[in-house]
Amino acid sequence: MDEIAMISFGYFEKQLLDAVTMRTEQAFSARISWKEGFLDLGDYYDPSRRQYDGNRILKVIDERFGVSKGKTIGLLSIDLFIPILTFIYGQAFLNGRSCIASNYRLSNERYGLLPDETLMHNRFIKEIIHELGHTYGLIHCSHPDCVMRSSTYVEDIDQKGEDFCPNCKSNLIHFPE
């Protein structure tokens, strides 16, 4: 497979970036490259919702940072929404070249629970693999362990695995580059 360009918009711990790189390489048999990106996120902030417009951010990341051969994912730490949902963990162009994922709603502390860095990292990795799966044409899956299963709440993310089910893996392998 091609290269996956990961672009961080903000600070992420090296330990997290190393784990993301390793798991994404394994999931897609892809070469991972890293860049830092800069956007004035204020342009995408909706004061009435106190959140950032995921659709508009995805579009600008695709236009400004999307690689010509391969896939691009923008990593963020902001609260994302799309008009039809209260919040989202990520967004992707189905069978497109770009997607985004945010870790904003993935920490236990956000829900009044004790911190668990490992759990937060695992949640973020699953969401990154999930969104990249969409860029390779995969849709939501009903298999309970599949990383492509839809996640409405963090509990949904915790219940699914980091890997593709056999059907999604088979479809992933057959998508042309």
Render pLDDT for 130-152 as a digit per residue (tens, 0 to 9): 999 999 999 999 999 999 999 99
Q: Is 177 a residue whose pLDDT tops 60?
A: no
Q: What angle do CA 165, 162, 155 make, to 5 degrees?
A: 105
- DSSP for 23-68? HHHHHHT-EEEEEE----GGGGEETTTTEEEHHHHHHHHHHHH--S
The answer to pTM > 0.75 is yes
User: What average pLDDT does the segment 68-95 reach?
Assistant: 96
Which residues have a catalytic role annotated? Answer: 131
User: Contact at 8 Å (CB) between 101 and 20?
Assistant: no
